[in-house]
């Protein structure tokens, strides 16, 4: 025969089982919520990587269109192609940067030449050879610029050298 438990003991056991099942259900729900958040994050990361890869491969096309616009007569077709490319790239978040007069920032500009000017106190972008591009906060390509500014510390006479000759093979001869 079954032993008969007092009603309070049976109620306590059922109450304990209910608490355990509720805790289990809460853990499963929390795991599922975390899974959904992780999948959403992963999807966004994959989308961002795909956009970065496509736009990175697309930059030479954009450069070619810009060069064509600068050197060719602006026909209605060329104008429409340039406008469409820029608007579609912009809709994906692509932003060009690098304007004459911008302060030089080595994290986003590649200096191709440095022109010394004793009348300036900081490096400034004076010629933009190729614009840089960002996608959000991500740098896709640095801008290629020429900068003008004060002499660089440790260059030329400050370093105890003077330029004596530049040969045809682009080698420098320095005398101490």
CATH number belonging to the domain at 7-92, selected among 1.20.1070, 3.40.50, 2.60.40, 3.90.20: 3.90.20
| Phi, psi (deg, nearest 5) at residue 4 | -95, 125
Query: What are the pLDDT digits (tens) for 36-63?
Result: 999 999 999 999 999 999 999 999 999 9
Instruction: Considering the domain delimited by 96-176, tell me its CATH architecture.
Output: Roll (2.30)
Q: Where are the domains of the chain?
A: 7-92, 96-176
Map 100-143 to HEC letters.
CCCECCCCCEEEEEEEECCCCCCCEEEEEEECEEEECCEEEECE
pTM exceeds cut of 0.85: no
Where residue 175 falls among pLDDT bands split at 50, 70, 90? very low
Indicate if the pLDDT at residue 144 is higher than 50. yes
Q: What share of the chain is helix, strand, coil (3-state, %, to 5)?
A: 50, 25, 25
């Amino acid at each position: 025969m079954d032993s008969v438990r007092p009603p309070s003991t049976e109620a306590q056991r059922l109450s304990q089982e209910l608490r355990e099942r509720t805790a289990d259900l809460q853990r499963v729900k929390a795991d599922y919520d975390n899974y959904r958040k992780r999948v959403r994050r992963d999807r966004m990361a994959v989308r961002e990587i795909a956009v970065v890869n496509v736009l990175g491969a697309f930059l030479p096309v954009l450069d070619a269109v810009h060069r064509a616009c600068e050197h060719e007569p602006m026909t209605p077709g060329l104008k429409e192609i340039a406008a469409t490319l820029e608007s579609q790239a912009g809709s994906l978040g692509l932003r060009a940067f690098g304007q004459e007069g911008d302060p030089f920032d080595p994290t986003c500009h590649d200096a191709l030449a440095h022109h010394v000017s004793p009348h300036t106190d900081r490096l400034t972008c004076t010629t933009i050879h190729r614009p840089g591009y960002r996608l959000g906060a991500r740098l896709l390509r640095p801008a290629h610029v020429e900068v003008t500014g004060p002499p660089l510390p440790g260059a030329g006479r400050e370093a105890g050298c003077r330029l004596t000759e530049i040969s045809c093979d682009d080698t420098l001869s320095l005398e101490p």
